[in-house]
Amino acid sequence: MDRYKNLLLIVDMQYDFCLPDGALYVNGAEQDTARLADFIERNESVIDGIVLTQDSHQVIDISHPAFWADNDGMHPLPYTLITPEDIASGAWSPLYFHDEAVKYVNNLSSRGEFVHTIWPEHCISGSQGAAIVDDVMTAVRRWASGGHFFDIVIKGTNPLTEHFGVLRANIPVESAPETGLNKTLAEKLKKYTNIFIAGEARSHCVANTVRQMGEIEGLAGNIFLLWDLMSDVPGFEAVAMSIYENAFRRGIRKETSFSVKLN
């Protein structure tokens, strides 16, 4: 198998997450993107590969308000948590794919995934909100003009499951292979000696990406988290604490964009 040195994995640096007027703005993300662009430009001669992920959703999505309603027909507010108990009590009911949605929320609970969260409608497929922010793409394009190719990994297109992590949906849908393990990406990751991760949000999509990558044998020791190139969804700063604690125990390293040395 061919081996390469340095891969930069950029998670969901998109308009809806990274700009103050974005639908699901992550506080501090615009500073993260500026530092990321600088990091790429400073290290473009020693970055061998870049992978960017894009969250991409339908309007009717299991994590959007319009999918759910209470007994009065009112949709949940963004950032509402929905548990199996909420569904059993009738506090919240799915308006679409009832049986699949109930099973999904129950599976999240039984498998130790994050509690089902309702998000503002965001990263709608084809919309500006789903696009990679300009400062990051400008830096990536400049790097690519030196004779490189970057990869785009689209995730989240299936409306019946969340797809926080880049390698698989939180709960894969049996009839939808795109929600299962992305074997092509997993094999690509194995080809690099060093994998540097930046992106949004540290509390959710980055955290689940880190957890999923840690499940690949032998990969943990290759991973560097660029801690100053990611921020948390406000109010969820502690939700992924155990994921990162476990990651650090397994050999995944926390760095900053200025402390880490690429060569």
180-224 pLDDT tens trace: 999 999 999 999 999 999 999 999 999 999 999 999 999 999 999
Q: Which backbone phi and psi does 65 adopt, to 5 degrees?
A: -55, -40
3-state secondary structure of 104: helix
Residues 247 and 155 in one domain: yes
Same-domain status, 74 and 49: no
Range of the domain at 109: 65-117
pLDDT(110) > 80: yes
pLDDT at 128 > cutoff 90: yes
User: With 90 as the cut, is the pLDDT of residue 179 above it?
Assistant: yes
Q: Which residue has the higher pLDDT, 263 or 203?
A: 203
CA 8/CA 214 separation, integer angstroms:
16
With 0-12 / 13-18 / 19 or more C-beta atoms within 10 angstroms meaning exposed / middle / buried, residue 3 is exposed
Do 31 and 134 sit in the same domain of this protein? yes
Q: List Cβ neighbours of 165 (8 Å cut-off, separation of 6 or more).
A: 205, 208, 209, 211, 212
Residue 1: pLDDT over 70: no
Mean pLDDT of the 218-242 span: 96
Same structural domain for residues 150 and 34? Answer: yes
201 and 104 within one domain: no
Task: Kindly give the residue spans of alpha helices, DSSP state H, lying in the chain.
Answer: 15-18, 29-43, 84-89, 98-110, 134-144, 183-189, 205-214, 241-249
- Same domain assignment for residues 161 and 135: yes
Q: What is the pLDDT of residues 45-96, one digit of tens each?
A: 999 999 999 999 999 999 999 999 999 999 999 999 999 999 999 999 999 9
Specify whether 226 is located in the same domain as 207.
yes
Does 141 reside within a domain? yes
- Per-residue confidence band for 2, with pLDDT thresholds at 50, 70 and 90: confident
240 and 159: one domain?
A: yes
CATH code for the domain of 27: 3.40.50.850
Token pair, residue 249, equals: 């125990």
| Residue 162 CB neighbour total at 10 angstroms | 27
Among residues 257, 133, 150, 245, the alpha carbon closest in space to that of 200 is found at 133
Domain presence at residue 262: no
How many domains does the chain contain in total?
A: 2
Give the tens place of pLDDT for each residue, 5-41.
Answer: 999 999 999 999 999 999 999 999 999 999 999 999 9
